Structure 1
Amino acid sequence: MAAVVVVTVAFAVASLALLWVLRASLESSTDAASQSRAADIVAQLRTDAPAELDRTLLATTGRTSVVQVLDAGGAVLVASEGAPSEALAPALPTGATTRVTEVRGARESADYRVVTEAAAGPTGTFTVVVAAEQDPVSETLSTVAALLALGVPVVVVVVGAATYLLVGRSLRPVERMRGTVSAITTADLSDRLAVPATHDEIARLAVTLNSMLGRIEDGHTAQRRFVGDASHELRSPLSTLTAALELGAERPGFLDVELVRDRLLPEAQRMQHLVDDLLLLARADERGLALRVVDVDLDDILDAEVIRVRAGTTIGAVSRVHPTQVRGDAVQLVRTVRNLVDNAVRHAVRTIVLGCTTDGAHAVITVSDDGPGIPAVDRTRVLERFVRLDTDRARSAGGSGLGLAIVAEIVAAHGGTVVVGESDDGGARVTVRLPLAGPAHPPVAEKR
């Protein structure tokens, strides 16, 4: 409809302009022929009397309908054959310029376009009148207008139909995409849209939608895996607690202090830690981590971890800490360092090394161990949730597979990066880089 309206308006304006230009052109051509005839007659009247005029100058043609020569009083002296007996224009004074006027003749339908020009001869002053009927011009304009009136609607209909068909054909791939997308459900997100070989906007739309579907599938797969892994991790401590409680219900004397301290309480604490980790990751997925940004001394955090490791484990802790201060959330940064240290202690053989320093506009934290290390192909994957390698870093080592994932979330919220590499002793080295100025856009802290 928009195309039809635009084309109709455009053709209407163009038709009016064409008729106006055509009328001006025809009238200009007629006036030029009349002025030429009048000039020839004026030239002869300068030497001859009106009765001596060359008869060819008084003859009419297709462009000249009437020729008259008037005296100073406006009376017709000589005229072309069939010319009206009355003068078509008044006499001009001597020295007057050429005039072009439109007049109506004696006959009802005779409209003339008249050229008058003054002439001074040896026998007096005369006025030459040359007129052309307007009927040929009007007939030509009427014919062209009729053709336009018939042709423009046909062209508009053709344009409307062609536009409808072509636009519909060009949007047909979009309709196919819509049908494909509407058929995709969460049960199977592997379907993709067919990409047309047109290399145009429709093809780019298909590529973009396929990319979006891929991200949705990855997110859905990760969510299902996350729920499955979380359920699996919670099943073990819950099974232990349930079995102990059922046994205690049948044999109350079985629940002694030693069982509670050595078996039940560690399982409950493990489940509590796992639930806390899951809640943190869920909040991070939903709206990002809420950071309370303050000045944080990283060297104090690492020194405290060195003391904790030396006091609570048989693993040696080497400190290579330099005074380093950043802007960040102190609680979350403590949790980051503790997760890295616990991970290193869990897999170290004899020693872990903790270090922090500054590098330009960043603070650099490193935690290394002398354990079995992490293969290069898995160093990015271990930062994902519930990822454990089939080596000494297995479930039997006591980890849930969330420690490094939480580190990655906290560091990303601070605008930093985490890189897993190899230590000098062949074990794993985790390097965290944090901007000294803090996160560029820290999330607003939650109100409790």
Structure 2
Amino acid sequence: MSKIRSMSLTTRIMIGMILGVAVGFLFQAIVIGEEKFIIPPGLLSVPIKSFLVDGLFHIGGQIFIASLKMLVVPLVFVSLVSGTCSLSDPKKLGSLGGKSIGLYLITTGVAITVAMTLAILISPGDGVELPTNASFDAKEAPTLAQVIINMFPTNPIDAMASGNMLQVIVFSLLFGIAMALSGKAGNRVAAVFEDLNTIILKLVTLLMNVAPYGVFCLMAKLFTTIQVELILSLAKYFAVVVAALAIHAFVNYSILLKLFTGLNPIIFLKKMKHTCLFGFSTSSSSATMPITLETATKKLGVNNSVASFTIPLGATINMDGTAIMQGVATVFIAQVYNVDLALSDYLMVVLTATLASVGTAGVPGVGLIMLAMVLNQVGLPVEGISIIIGVDRLLDMIRTAVNVTGDCMVTCVVAKSEGQLDEQTFNDPDAAKDLEDYHKSTE
């Protein structure tokens, strides 16, 4: 037990993930074995499904996800207010916002361009049979005007209760600016928010102690129920999406980071290990946000005044991984339905998906809504989504890991341009090696 506790948090989470995958595949083999009458029917599959998969693993995984999401709104509100009111010049927010949104849109455009290029070269849709009963009910996406209007909350408490992050961000910024302009009264309230920020970060640390168990439950349930044969039938599509995600995460982000900051991309990627594991396990940039923010400030050396703005914004509008899926999926569906897309169609896909990453930010099921918009824009059947939806769950996990990496890369670039990046912390391989190490040092 003492050896396990002495391991780094990243190592323990990795062990929990590997064990979860192994247990999931083992349970799936047992269930399949019973279906083929290798084992007496119901002897093991019933307790595995009812007690472990749908019971213990489901409860443990969902409590872990709920606990992470519980921290998101208070963490964003408190850290963003603290960061905003600490700015010597509130006008810098305009610079921060412009740079952040611009970079997020650029990386999304690059992501979908790379994905479509790769898909055109490999042709993952060739030879795939068209399903006869394909159907998909696409939800309507909000208009750009409605998105802009909805960014401003009529009731900030309701925005926090419903988790509308764009509205929470806008209210937090306005509240922080008001505090910065309120003199002594603002300073007194700012001190309270600094203490609240410390307490919330301590909550993050407490939650990290159970993270390996939560990750184990999530992985065990997923890989017990995942349809391996479906992934194999769409292996080419799956491989193209994964390859595009890998190129974007390891090549594109590295080039952009080196180009704009001169920082070492290898150091950056090594320090993202912990956050990527969380993103992969939870499939949610929002749920991973507490960890992403800690990584940006404690490991990468970004000042909280920048990170508290760029990280929540990125978790809301930065969808590079989703854009990659859309690029590959669009080409894939066009090939399956034997539809030839012109160069203008491809350009329209890039533009639509890039802008839609902001326009559909606060909508549930955002990836599929964006894909439906893109398909409609170039005249492809929305029913094609039903072909790929079965393998999307596993790809979503990888996409989230890419998204949180992009959030931190853009944060480093913006912080460097604003003179708010501590390069000594960034280059220190032992800087906040694990989140709990940092908090232990503050006790």
Question: Shorter chain as normaliser: what TM range?
Answer: under 0.3
TM-score normalized with structure 2 length: 0.23
TM-score normalized with structure 1 length: 0.22
Higher RCO (C-alpha under 8 Å, 6+ residues apart): 2
